[in-house]
A and B are shown apart, each in its own frame.
Chain A
């Protein structure tokens, strides 16, 4: 059962890391990361915090772009190039194909995020010479972003089972954008006494229904090391669990649609 999935995943990685568009985005990401240290003039004392947080933001935006562009074309391209026929005419179930493609995307994402993170950490080390603990602390965020992007690519691959790439691009980006502000949005709606019950209901449902990307941004305690966080492990477990559950949800949904789809 896993054989075909892994074979497809492996091939997908091989193809993904050779896609020029992705490599260009990756290069731009690395370039942006590299110029951030020179923006340190923007603040007096918070230079380190601003540098790290801006690097995180670049890493996140670049990773999201990669995650979406990587996945939206994955299945349509296989169909267009008829490769999918040679695969599906083999004893490979459609869900295996879908999961294989997804896992491939996740592996590819991992490689690319890891590369950018390495650049980021090296730059941090060069410019601020932090101690090991601080470096490890900074490394936590990319791991969380990786989870976030795994969820995002599951979303894109889910949408790709029924929508063409361009629609998927805007839909994925839109949902990611919304997902990254879900928590602050919900927070302000819930806090604001002026909000009507309908608006509150909508915000609550949106928060409970849409994939939440906001919770993977854990940079606040990282860029503000004096912040004391209680039980961060539990939080990590929760958001990891959330990612696994939501990804499984999206993949099963994708399977159900893809199973019926005429390719």
Chain B
């Protein structure tokens, strides 16, 4: 067989065209199913790795490298060098975006670990933690874990805007591999978002499934326990629906009935803020709920915060993981623990100037007090009701601070999967919260000028109803919560000092 060159050349050109065309078909499939990193990182990997590491990752040792880096990051965790951990988390997740553990640990670390003291974290990082969650979920759409972890940040860390935790738990719930026990949490999120029908409905469905599973494996002890748990949850919720008068409200005979939530209980909030030292404030005030478990949110922030919301940050502001939060933003959020109907707290923001920069460009600050009965523990909610219908404050009740929102989770994308970006719909109800804001200047906070420590005035801000005597002379009460409260704020007062 003698080969003709001209024919071969034509064949050559043809084959070249074919391979190019095939490449166009293969690439989208590869990108969809096999790409190690789904989103472009604009050279992030090459910028952050040493040359030998770049070679390693180029030749397919991505996961290996990620593992090595993660082990090193773990060492930094132990030594408390959290700043060093952040870029490593970023790099690990870029190198091996299927490392679910790194995503979830990383989110937790970013959201919780940057603190200046035990309970107070740098919440400017929360948006980054959520962005990591969003990326992790996009990289691992077939498992529930990152969806769940992202929902958990909303539910537990942010503890506000519950429609978001509903959304993420819902997305997790839609994934087959979600652990049965964790599915209960979606119902809790529903309850906090005042989606009681959905909450109840979910318990009923979960119970049916748990029943089936338990019947199928009668010897499996875990499955029996699981069923009992769901059953207990359902029972409790039904009891609460009755007890808190929710069902009566729907029937229309709430007004005449005996319910713990009726009439609404006035918490009688009052507060005084004293700038005792530069960047150190003392907060005192009253809160008439005697039982343990009330935590009033206090926020101190720039007044003209970009995208700022009342008593919170725009948590969902980021889609890209940015480990450098705006360093000139001051945002302090803490909890005021109520004991014996009063709270007292010294908040020292002088130790960590990176966390509380009190930037020169920001002259005005605001101290906010916020309480949402939806976040309350169940025994207090028994009094306040699912949506705070049993809650009021004669001075500071607000119904315009938090609107209700629901995500339209019926939407599905072209592939029949639930959309990660569902439409946000404003609900009909709004939340009953306590909210009060006081203005402070930078001068006051830093004790400068007329507020100087050397003979200057001490800045003191109070609510109009603040009575210093109440802060000092309130009886100490230990209240034992019961589901069926008797009267007043629904608790048995056992001991007086």
Contacts and interface: CB of A to CB of B under 8 A. Distances in A.
A249 B12 contact: yes
B101 interface: yes
B8 A208 contact: no
Interface in B1-27: 1-3, 5, 8-9, 11-12, 15-16, 18-20, 22-27
Contacts of A259: 3, 5
B143 interface: yes
Interface residues of B, number: 54
B101 A256 contact: no
B236 interface: no
B interface majority secondary structure:
helix
A187 interface: yes
Nearest to A93: B1
A215 B63 contact: no
Interface in B39-75: 39-43, 58-64, 66-68, 70-71
Given A43-B70, A50-B67, A224-B98, A186 B59 contact: no
Interface string B162-191: 000000000000000100000000000000
A190 B31 CA distance: 12
Interface in A118-150: none
B33 interface: yes
B280 to A, nearest CB: 41
A228 B61 CA distance: 23
A191 interface: yes
B321 to A, nearest CB: 16
Which of A95, A180, A224, A235 has the largest count of B CB atoms less than 10 A from its CB?
A: A224
A217 B26 contact: no
B29 A208 contact: no
B70 A180 contact: no
Interface residues of A, number: 64
B441 interface: no
Contacts of B29: 234-235, 238
A interface majority secondary structure:
helix
Contacts of A215: 26-27, 30, 34
A142 B452 CA distance: 74
B246 to A, nearest CB: 39
A60 B60 contact: yes
A214 B41 CA distance: 18
Given A54-B61, A220-B98, A232-B33, A256 B12 contact: yes
A245 to B, nearest CB: 5
Nearest to B143: A226
Interface string A221-252: 10110111110101100110110011011001
Contact of A249 (B3, B15, B99, B140): B15
A49 interface: yes
Given A43-B71, A56-B60, A177-B58, A242 B23 contact: yes
Interface in B85-139: 96, 98-101
A50 B9 contact: no
A145 to B, nearest CB: 10
B3 A95 contact: yes
A188 B37 CA distance: 10
Contact of A187 (B24, B31, B60, B142): B31
Given A57-B64, A234-B29, A49 B98 contact: yes
A262 B439 CA distance: 90
B26 A53 contact: no
Contacts of B31: 183, 187
Contacts of A39: 64, 67
B35 interface: yes
Interface string A187-230: 11011101000000000000111001011011111011011111
B106 to A, nearest CB: 13
B59 A188 contact: no
A183 B98 contact: no
A214 to B, nearest CB: 7
A46 B30 CA distance: 23
A253 interface: yes
Interface in A16-65: 39, 41-46, 49-50, 53-54, 56-57, 60-61
Contacts of A180: 58-60
A124 B416 CA distance: 36
B36 interface: yes
A42 to B, nearest CB: 4
Contacts of B35: 183-184, 187, 220
B63 A223 contact: yes
Contacts of A230: 32-33
A16 to B, nearest CB: 23
Contacts of B3: 93, 95, 255, 259
Contacts of A248: 15
B182 to A, nearest CB: 16
B294 to A, nearest CB: 38
Contacts of A218: 33-34
Contacts of A221: 33-34
A181 interface: yes
Given A188-B42, A239-B26, A256-B8, A42 B70 contact: yes
A166 B5 CA distance: 29
Contacts of A187: 31, 35, 40
Contact of A252 (B15, B23, B71): B15
B142 A42 contact: no
15 contacts: A44-B101, A45-B100, A46-B63, A57-B62, A61-B59, A181-B58, A218-B34, A220-B34, A221-B34, A223-B98, A224-B98, A229-B33, A242-B22, A242-B23, A249-B19
A-B pairs, top 3 by smallest CB distance, nearest first, are A191-B40, A42-B67, A57-B60
Given A43-B70, A215-B34, A218-B34, 5 more contacts: A42-B70, A45-B101, A46-B96, A49-B63, A187-B31
